Amino acid sequence: MKDPASFSSRALTVALAAALVLSLALVARPVLDLRGSGNDQGHSPEQPIAYSHRLHAGELAIPCLYCHFAAEKSRSAGIPPLSVCMNCHARVTAPFIDVRAEDAAALKEKRKPRVLMSEEIRKIYDALGLTSDGTPSPDRTPSPVRWNRVHNLPDFVYFDHRPHVAAGLICQTCHGPVETMEKMSQHSDLSMGWCVNCHRRTKPAGTVRRASTDCATCHY
Amino acid sequence: MSQKARKRYWKSLKERAGAGARESREAEVDVAMSRRSFLKAVGFSLSAATLSACSRSRVFKAAPHLVASEGVVPGRAAWYASTCGGCSAGCGALVKVRDGRPIKLEGSPAHPISRGGLCAVGQASILELYDSRRLKSALWGGNPASWSDVDARILAALKGVKTRGSSVRVLTGTVTSPSLEHAIARFLAGFSDGKHVVYDALSTSAILEAHSRTHGERSLPRYRFEEADVIVGIDADFLGTWISPVEYSAGWRSGRTLEGTPPRMSYHVQYEARMSLTGANADRRVLLAPGFEALLAEHLANEVAARAGAPAPFGASAPCPVDARQLKDLAGRLWASRGRSFVVCGTNNLAAQLAVNQVNHLLGSYRRTLDLQKPSFQRRGDDSTLRKLFDEISGGKVGALVIHGCNPAAELPAAGASWQEALGRVGLVVATSSHLDETSRLAAAVVPDHHYLESWADAQPAAGVAAVVQPVLRPLGDTRSALESFALWTGKPQSALDMVRGTWRASMHARQSSEASFDDFWNRTVQDGFAALAVGGRAVRPFDGGAVRSASRASAGPPGTGLALVLYPKVGMLEGRHAQNPWLQEMPDPVSKVVWDNYASLSPETARSLGVEQGDLVRLSTDAESLELPAFLQPGQKDGTVCAALGYGRDGTERFFDVGPDWISGKPTVPHGGRVGRNVSRFLSFVDGQLSCTTWSVRLEKTGGTQALACTQDYHSLKVPERLAEHPGETRDIVRETTLAEYAADASSGNPSEPSALATLWPTSSGKTGRRWGMTVDLSACTGCSSCVIACQAENNIPVVGKDEVARRRDMHWMRIDRYYADIEAGIEAVHQPMLCQQCGHASCETVCPVAATVGGEEGLNQQVYNRCVGTRYCANNCPYKVRRFNWFEYRRADAQENMVLNPDVTIRSRGVMEKCSFCIQRIQEAKIEAKRLGVPLGTEDILTACQQSCPTQAIVFGDLNDAKSRVAARMKDPRRYRVLEEIGVEPAIGYLTKVSNRRV
């Protein structure tokens, strides 16, 4: 018969060891995932609406500034208000291929084609408090979409889109091949070294001076 | 250069006494740390550091508008013209709105009243918009109630009053809004006995009364300081707190620009008992015991009359209270500049004001410098009707009392035994207060008004100047414009916008000719913020000397003996309506430099004779009242007087107990449940029907207790430390002064060229091209009003640290106004000097930073990089100007809602980081980027730093020193220009211009 005291002490050791392994495993994942502090390269959060840049900017070749119109005149490029989405989506409510199929089916069944609305586009209508025919819905109050920011800079850095757009940089220089991204992700590491290297190399169009590397260009 | 002995300047009495500004070492905190606790701490910090390094950034949310509004671009500021509601002066303000939040007020450059400046109170009033203690709903009996419920009860009570034929009174401060005036008149017209009673806590009723007697109209003249060559102020703090300080400061300054040949500068004499900001700026300051103002004015009138060849208006009376020879001389100067001179008097005493009117009449001032054709409406209060109201209230004759825009229970002596008892006799008391304050606590119904930035309103601060107040955000609480409240109780509910437009359509549109359609006129006015209107030919009755003679004469002296208690408004706090504003509480008083308190100030001699030292708690008592205050020794004050500031001890200031960091040695700014300062308004009294700020025969005794005062001028000394001085008492030319006569002879007088700096190891900066940002500060223009201090605080997210931290020399203001005293034969003089980071070319802070967190930039700026700073504080120790500020703590806001006022373009500094003036780099960057975006050259003159923008006297000029055409470069070449501590060779980028004054003439 084993000593109950030594049994319980061995059990404790095993339990502790198991806990250690488990906690290491828990810690290991984020540790392996580590980059420099604050470096979020590849950050690609889920969004409340599965908006595809590949489709809009790539396949449909809508210019970036059509939606992110503030990039030319403001510090931030801005996420477009839903009214910009509705410029097209007041009419376009489902993938073209589905609409074609529905039209064909309706023709065959000799009925009026139904208005199709994809799940993601319905979210726009819901947020605006609209029914699917575009009229205000009585039982729904408009509420803004809370997107998850992909590009975050620390609070002590002031990046401004205006001079970069004015200098003729194309968006992809920093944001990468957005037109191929199904889900938006952070392309560059946005570290200070990355900023400064470009500022050192670059002479903005039409000027003789390189871009400033003064601290106060970004930090104030 | 004349070989006169240099003036010796000093900042505090201790320094004058020769103790130097030796800064007492703070009590070192004795922290016993055992090995065990040390290991604990190490373990904790190690793991905390590791964990924080591991963490991925949080996911931040971004919620764009659902529907884009035209003209609103996220991240871009929009500016709206409006009118400041900080006091009744009606200055023009531009409101900066970023992403829907108003974050800054600036002066409206074209505004006819304020001419571009905005005072500290006005700028700080934006913080009150976000005050979470503002009432969020209507109250009935002290409990939240729905608007419909409260209105129904009020209407029922008013109906009862109407049927009983009982009286209705509306009690307000000065109302400059024509729309509100109409709304109140319409409301009162529905009752058989309805009256609108107007009072000002800082009363000027005697001025209005005197003009009604001498000119037949109860009006306040518009004082045109810019037209005056000789200004005599008798107890009128017109640069600090009196009626319309921004307007008067701008006018005062434009009469002293030194332009033309011979250079123009007005001569300003100030007679006063306390050391006011205006006295500190006067060319000649003469001490006058309180109660002698009328006598002085009568003697002055007789002297001026003698020069005019007119019979003496006043018969033989007591001897002149000041040096008679000097008064004769002053009368001569006034007479020589007749038509371009005037006397202003701030004493609310009818005899004094009548005598002042007599002087001004003799001088012909009413033709040019005092405007009664286009009078001011900034003060309308009538103390006699207020007195009548008191009688009616205590007689139980008032059926309903509506109190709007004032707080009588805190600002006035009680209308009976106490305000509670008095208001208990009124059938219905309604208050429109935005807070639960002394008055609204006693009211049956509280119907909170909007903040002025939340509602439509208007203002008419002077004849011919009408202005619009426009909302810049939706009301944060469930409040209602007082305009709408009055309209609803009249039975004609209307929106505030419709009411204002209605008033303007009816009475303003016809008075201008440039816009034919009303809509065009309205739209232009809303865009500009104001409109200039024609003033009908008003017939001002000619001066009636009989009224002066028939009035009661000034008595030979004050009605009492012993100590005189003088109550005064403090710059920033005024009558106390902004007492809950932490920015204003922490703004150092421009003269005493004390924060977070009011105090009983005594002249050093009086204090010595009473055996009182600074910080002693003293009990002030009259037969009726008694109050304890800490003593403060104020050089330059009249002996035998005690001065105490109004506006303190207010309900609601107990909220400040948790201002400042919470740490082991921290002391609360106010004791739990206590107030900031003490309310002295109970010492106000009615003298000859006018509210009087002076009480005689006051007893003063030490209680034995002490209360430390936090004063910012006991430290930050730029003096040579005693142990380093080559010879004792070595002075540095930190402030430089000259007189007008010497300046006219030699423009560089008072500004001797220093022996060239020591050999320098630095490369010379002279060959540098490109921009070099710089600034000039004209000491002749700076009055010390401190509006720049608050402008900087609002612009640069400067935290409030609390009284204890200030006492520990940890105030965070990037811009401070140093106040220097100098002994002269007739007492003391004062000079104000704005002190901020000098953006040195060879900055001594940069060389000692071990991590290069502070470095010189391409455009001459001394940059502070917060994220690099590790907090060694070497830079602050090595800064000769003492302008660096260290974040000893995370100075969070006690009221989290006030975070909404933060400027998103400036980093919030965290604990352990050094900070300092950046020359408003965010504004420079904004201008540069906009120029780049639009492809136009940078207009360096268009960049205004926050301090420069707000300055009522335009003392500050900022720009590019390397641009020869810039104003700043021109002023840098002025012979008056010098640089503070130039001899140490740090190449500061700020030039000061020698103070030229009409002193010692």
Q: What is the pLDDT of residues A60-69, one digit of tens each?
A: 999 999 999 9
Whether the CB of B50 is below 8 Å from some CB of chain A: the reply is no
Taking 50 as the threshold, does the pLDDT of residue B401 lie above it? yes
Nearest residue of B to residue A27, measured between CA atoms: B54
Q: Which residues in chain A are closer than 8 Å to B74, comparing Cβ atoms?
A: 70, 74, 76, 78
Residue A55 pLDDT: 93
Q: For residue A45, give the chain B residue with the closest CA.
A: B59
The token duo for B96 is: 């900066």
Mean pLDDT for the stretch of residues A56-76: 93
User: What three-state secondary structure class fits B659?
Assistant: coil
B97: chain A residues, CB-CB within 8 Å: none
To the nearest whole Å, the CA of A10 is away from the closest chain B CA by 28
pLDDT band, very low/low/confident/very high, at B1 (cuts 50, 70, 90): very low
Query: Which residues of A fall within a CB distance of 8 Å from B47?
Result: none
For B831, how many CA atoms within 13 A lie in the half-sphere containing its CB?
26
pLDDT above 70 as % of chain A = 80
Angle at B667 between CA B664 and CA B669, to 5 degrees: 145
Q: What is the pLDDT of residues B372-395, one digit of tens each?
A: 888 999 999 999 999 999 989 988
User: Do B62 and B99 form a contact (C-beta atoms < 8 A)?
Assistant: no
Query: What is the extent of the structural domain holding B144?
Result: 139-202+381-507
- What is the DSSP annotation of B347-401? ---HHHHHHHHHHHHHTTHHHHTEEEEEEE-S----HHHHHHHHHHHHTT-EEEE
Q: CA B314: distance to chain centroid?
A: 38
Give dist(CA B945, CA B947) in Å, integer: 5
Neighbours of B710 (CB within 10 A): 22
- Whether B619 is in a domain gets the answer yes
Q: Which of residues 905-934 of B touch A (CB under 8 A)?
A: 905-908, 918, 921-922, 925, 928-930, 932-933
The answer to whether residues B407 and B338 belong to one domain is no
Name the pTM for this structure: 0.90
Pairing status of strand B530-532 against strand B690-692? unpaired
Place of tokens 């006995």: B193
Confidence check: pLDDT of B645 > 90: yes
Q: A214 vs chain B: nearest CA distance in angstroms?
A: 6
Location of structure tokens 């038509």: B339
For residue B925, pLDDT beyond 50? yes
Inter-chain contact A215–B857, Cβ cutoff 8 Å? yes
pLDDT of B793 strictly over 70: yes
Please enumerate in sequence order all residues whose Cβ is within 8 A of that of B45, keeping only pairs 6 or more positions apart, or say none.
none
Tell me the average pLDDT across B962-977.
92
Lowest model confidence (mean pLDDT) among A51-65, A178-192, B306-320, B670-684? B306-320
CB contact under 8 A, A148 and B905: no
Six-digit token pair at B654?
């107990």
B863–A216 C-beta distance less than 8 A: yes
- Non-local (6+) Cβ contacts of A9 within 8 A are none
Q: What is the pLDDT of residue A174?
A: 92
More confident residue, B687 or B583: B583
A interface mutation test: which of B47, B70, B73, B906 has the most A CBs within 10 A?
A: B73
Burial of A203 (0-12, 13-18, 19+ CB in 10 A): exposed
Q: How confident is the model at residue B800 (pLDDT cuts 50, 70, 90)?
A: very high
Are B304 and B385 found together in one domain?
no
Beta-carbon neighbour count of residue B462 at 10 Å?
23
Does the beta-carbon distance from B922 to A155 stay under 8 Å? no
Q: Per-residue pLDDT tens for B111-169?
A: 999 999 999 999 999 999 999 999 999 999 989 999 999 999 999 999 999 998 889 99
Minimal Cα distance from B67: which residue of A? A83
- Out of A209-213, B74-78, B193-197, which region has the weakest mean confidence (pLDDT)? A209-213
Strand ranges (DSSP E) for B237-369? 267-272, 284-287, 341-345
Coil, strand or helix at B170: strand
Q: What is the pLDDT of residue B27?
A: 41
Q: How confident is the model at residue B658 (pLDDT cuts 50, 70, 90)?
A: confident
The helix/strand/coil state of B207 is helix
Number of domains comprising chain B: 4
Q: Look at residue B591 and tell me whether its pLDDT is greater than 50.
A: yes
Angstroms from B529 CA to nearest CA on chain A: 26
A87 touching B (Cβ < 8 Å):
no
Of chain A residues 16-35, which have a CB less than 8 A from chain B?
30-31, 33-34
Chain B: nearest CA to A60, how far in angstroms?
23
CA distances B865 to A219, B805, B811, B855, Å, are: 6, 24, 20, 8
pLDDT score of A141 more than 60? yes
Distance from CA of B770 to the nearest CA of A (A): 11
| Contacting residues for B461 by C-beta, under 8 A, at least 6 apart | B88, B89, B90, B113, B176, B244, B376, B377, B378, B467
Residue B937 at interface with chain A, using a CB cutoff of 8 Å: no
Q: Which two tokens stand for residue B6?
A: 């240099």
User: Look-up: residue for tokens 């209230």?
Assistant: B393
- Copy the structure tokens of residue A114: 């139904």
Q: Does A203 touch chain B (CB under 8 A)?
A: no
The residue ranking higher by pLDDT, B52 or A159, is A159
Tell me: do B319 and B425 sit in the same domain. Answer: no
Looking at the structure, do residues B118 and B145 belong to the same domain, yes or no? Answer: no
Angle at CA B510, nearest 5°, toward B113 and B374? 35
Burial of B459 (0-12, 13-18, 19+ CB in 10 A): buried
Contact A159, A218 (CB under 8 A): yes
Instruction: State how far the alpha carbon of B335 is from the alpha carbons of B366, B415, B740, B806, in Å.
Output: 14, 45, 20, 48
Token readout for B60 is 């931040």
- Looking at residues B454-464, what average pLDDT do you find? 93
Taking the Cβ of residue B859 and every Cβ of chain A, the question of whether any pair is shorter than 8 Å is answered with yes
**Partner B contacted by A176 (CB < 8 A):** no
Looking at the fold, whether B215 and B230 belong to one and the same domain comes out as yes
Q: Which long-range contacts (CB under 8 A, 24 or more apart) does B27-31 make?
A: B27/B665, B29/B664, B29/B665
Q: Are B232 and B118 members of one domain? A: no
User: What percentage of chain A's residues is helix, strand, coil (to nearest 5)?
Assistant: 45, 0, 50
Section B684-698 average pLDDT: 88
Q: What is the mean pLDDT of residues B843-850?
A: 93
Element (H, E) at B403: strand B398-404
CB pairs under 8 A between A and B: 133
Residue (of B690, B660, B439, B440) closest to B551 by Cα position = B690
- The most distant pair of C-alpha atoms in chain A lies apart, rounded to whole Å, by 91
pLDDT at B755 over 90: no
All residues of chain B having their beta carbon less than 8 Å from the beta carbon of residue A126 are none
Cβ <8 Å between A78 and B905: no
- Phi and psi angles of residue B855, each rounded to the nearest 5 degrees, phi first: -140, 155
Mean pLDDT over B17-46 rounds to: 59
**C-alpha torsion sign, points B649, B654, B655, B657:** positive
Residue B221: inside a domain: yes
The answer to whether the CB atoms of A82 and B64 lie below 8 A apart is: yes
Contact (Cβ atoms closer than 8 angstroms) between residue B197 and residue B386? yes
- Give B393's contacts (C-beta < 8 A, 6+ positions apart): B401, B415, B416, B422, B423, B425, B426
| Minimal C-alpha gap between B223 and chain A (Å) | 43
At B925, list the tokens: 């960057």
With tokens 């419909």, the residue in question is B148
Q: Is the peptide bond before B262 cis (omega within 30 degrees of 0)?
A: yes
Does A198 lie at the interface with B, CB-CB under 8 angstroms?
A: no
Q: Is A1 on the interface with B (CB under 8 A)?
A: no
Q: Which residues contact B187 (CB under 8 A, 6 or more apart)?
A: B170, B194, B486, B487, B489, B490
> Average model confidence (pLDDT) for chain B?
88
**Amino acid making up residue B733:** D
B847 pairs with which residues across the strands? none
- Least confident range from B431-435, B928-932, B936-940: namely B936-940
Tell me if B363 is assigned to some domain: yes
Amino acid at B878: N
Comparing CA positions, the residue from B453, B534, B536, B467 lying closest to residue B500 is B467
Are B362 and B237 contained in the same domain? Answer: yes
Structure tokens at B1001: 């003439």
> What's the confidence (pLDDT) of residue B733?
79
Cα radius of gyration (chain B) = 29
Residues of B in contact with A144 (CB under 8 A): 63-66
Of the candidates B376, B393, B421, which is a domain's last residue?
B376
The half-sphere exposure of B32 on its side-chain side, counting CA atoms within 13 A, is 0
Q: Which of B650, B681, B707 is the last residue of a domain?
A: B707
Residue B572: CB atoms within 10 A of its CB come to 29
Q: Name the residue ranges covered by the structural domains of chain A.
A: 53-79+147-217
Please list the residues that pair with B430 across neighbouring strands: B402, B445
* DSSP label at residue A54: I
Which stretch of A41-50, B45-54, B410-419 has the lowest confidence by average pLDDT?
A: B45-54
A215 to chain B, closest Cα gap in Å: 7
Longest dimension (CA), chain B: 92
Identify whether the C-beta of residue B675 lies closer than 8 Å to the C-beta of residue B324: no
Q: Which of B96-100, B313-317, B548-552 has maximum average pLDDT?
A: B96-100
Residue A196 contacts B, CB cutoff 8 Å: no
Q: Map tokens 């700096």 to a residue.
A: B757
Q: What is the CATH number of the domain that holds B694?
A: 2.40.40.20
**Do the Cβ atoms of A154 and B867 come within 8 Å?**
yes
Cα(B599)–Cα(B587) distance, integer angstroms: 15
Mean per-residue pLDDT for A124-138? Answer: 89
- Min Cα separation B934/chain A (Å): 8
B571 within a domain of the structure (yes/no): yes
Contact indicator for B976, B959 with CB cutoff of 8 Å: no
What mean pLDDT is reported for chain A? 84
As given in the structure block, the two tokens for residue A201 are 């190399």
**How would you classify residue B601: left for phi > 0, otherwise alpha for psi between -120 and 50, otherwise beta?**
beta
* Confidence band of B263 (pLDDT split at 50, 70, 90): confident
Q: How many CA atoms lie within 13 A of B692 on its CB side?
A: 19
Same domain membership, residue B277 and residue B214: yes
CATH number at residue B304: 3.40.228.10
Q: What is the mean pLDDT of residues B32-46?
A: 68
Q: In the predicted model, is pLDDT for residue B765 greater than 80?
A: no
Asked if residue B727 lies in contact with residue B323, where contact means CB atoms within 8 angstroms, the answer is: no
Nearest to A149 among B59, B918, B930 (CB): B59
Which band of pLDDT confidence, cut at 50, 70 and 90, is reported for residue B24? Answer: very low
Count the Cβ atoms, other than its own, within 10 Å of residue B695. Answer: 24
As a whole number of angstroms, the distance between CA B955 and CA B962 comes to 21
Residue B603 scores a pLDDT above 90: yes
Phi, psi of A100 (to 5 degrees): -60, -45
Q: Are B872 and B895 in contact (CB under 8 A)?
A: no
DSSP-based three-state secondary structure for A124: helix
Strands (E), A75-151: 147-148
Q: What is the token pair recorded at A132?
A: 């699917």
Q: Which residues of B192-212 are buried (b: 16+ CB within 10 A; e: fewer)?
A: eebbbbbbbbbbbbbbbbbbe
| β-strands B267-272, B284-287 pairing | parallel
For a pLDDT cut of 90, what percent of chain B falls above it? 65
Which of B221-235, B311-325, B776-790, B906-920 comes out lowest in average pLDDT?
Answer: B311-325
B859 with A214: Cβ contact below 8 A: yes
B869 found inside a domain: no
Q: Where a domain ends, among B129, B156, B187?
A: B129
Contacts of A219 in chain B (CB under 8 A): 863, 865-867, 907
pLDDT value at B680 more than 50: yes
